[in-house]
Amino acid sequence: MSANLHRALDAAIPMLKTIRQGVKTPPKASSAALEKLRQLARAIPPAPQPAQVPQPAEKSAPALELEPAGGWTMDSLRTAVIACERCPHLVASRTQVVFGVGNPEADLVFVGEAPGADEDEQGEPFVGLAGQLQTKIILAMGFQREDVFIANVLKCRPDMPSGVSGNRKPKPAEMATCLPWLSEQIALVKPRAIVALGAVAAEGLLGLTSPLRDLRGRWHEFQGVPVMVTYHPAYLLRNQSLSEKRKVWEDMLLVLEKLGKKITAKQRAFFTAPA
């Protein structure tokens, strides 16, 4: 209790006593006491108001690309991916986003790791030397390039230090950031099989880090779709031995079987050593 309040009560006590004794007209001293009480009451600071409880700021969702109300179409997805700026360092260095090409209803999807310099320049995956070899493999399987869908895990070329030429492998974090786009592409295409080209693509798509020799030749799965992992065509350009080409081809024969495609005797004999 404050000192002011004590003083106010002390001054009021005589008046209260007078009232209790039935005195109808308060003594002069009571009027003075009342005035004193009023003065002291005015001097008592107002009771502090309860502290303002800060209200939580309204949370606003981070500005991510939102799926359209009716779901993605390949066109709306392409528009969103081409405008994507989730990786500022890649946005700063890319010439363009490499969305992917091919049949949007393909039975077969090929997945690479990331655009290289040629792809970054032309806006299409697998157009460099390795891409040309991959196209030959697709033709040997009995498809046209337009029959299949081709995309990378990472849609923007990995940046290179200033003045350094060549390409670098995408980092796992970069691939993880971009993977939702590939996931949406695969959900739209609904292929019956996927081929992951190289260990980096296998890591980006499946999260598997085993050596490629342990991953190839057997089926994995992504979003319920069977995935065959095989060597990247760039590996075959570096290692042109018949045995390595044969390994890739055996993987492609498994893919053709999975798709229910008729395999010719000539196809079965590709890259087998002469008797």
Q: Which is nearer to ligand SF4, 33 or 90 (CB)?
A: 90
The rounded distance, in Å, linking the Cα atoms of 253 and 90 is: 37
Paired with 110 in beta bridges are 150, 195
Decide: is 236 part of the binding site for ligand SF4 (CB under 6 A). Answer: no
Task: Give the residue, chosen from 15, 77, 97, 189, that forms a contact with ligand SF4 under the rule CB under 6 A.
Answer: 97
Decide: is 155 part of the binding site for ligand SF4 (CB under 6 A). Answer: yes
Question: What is residue 236's three-state secondary structure?
Answer: helix
Paired with 226 in beta bridges are 221
Q: Which is nearer to ligand SF4, 91 or 237 (CB)?
A: 91
x-or-dash pattern for ligand SF4, window 13-52, by CB under 6 A?
----------------------------------------
The rounded distance, in Å, linking the Cα atoms of 215 and 118 is: 28
Give me 239's structure tokens: 């290692």
The arrangement of strands across the sheet holding 101-102 comes to: 101-102, 149-152, 108-112, 193-197, 225-230, 219-222
Task: Give the residue, chosen from 15, 40, 84, 194, that forms a contact with ligand SF4 under the rule CB under 6 A.
Answer: 84
Give me 167's structure tokens: 């390409």
In this chain, which stretch among 18-26, 83-91, 119-127, 139-147 interacts with ligand SF4, using CB under 6 A?
Answer: 83-91
Q: C-beta of 85: minimal distance to ligand SF4 in Å?
A: 6
Amino acid making up residue 179: L
DSSP alpha helices (H): ranges in 44-101? 74-82, 88-93
The answer to whether the beta carbons of residues 159 and 74 sit under 8 Å apart is: no
Q: Which is nearer to ligand SF4, 37 or 176 (CB)?
A: 176
Residues 163-202 touching ligand SF4, rule: CB under 6 A, are: 177-178, 181
Q: Which is nearer to ligand SF4, 7 or 94 (CB)?
A: 94
Paired with 222 in beta bridges are 225
Decide: is 90 part of the binding site for ligand SF4 (CB under 6 A). Answer: yes
Question: What is residue 16's three-state secondary structure?
Answer: helix
The rounded distance, in Å, linking the Cα atoms of 100 and 78 is: 9
Q: C-beta of 165: minimal distance to ligand SF4 in Å?
A: 20
Give me 69's structure tokens: 């109300």
Nearest to 217 by CA among 257, 185, 190, 187: 257
Give me 14's structure tokens: 């005589």
Q: C-beta of 223: minimal distance to ligand SF4 in Å?
A: 18
Q: C-beta of 205: minimal distance to ligand SF4 in Å?
A: 14
In this chain, which stretch among 10-18, 137-145, 148-156, 191-199 interacts with ligand SF4, using CB under 6 A?
Answer: 148-156
Decide: is 92 part of the binding site for ligand SF4 (CB under 6 A). Answer: no
Binding residues for ligand SF4, total number by CB under 6 A? 14
Binding site for ligand SF4 (CB under 6 A): 81, 84-87, 90-91, 97, 154-156, 177-178, 181
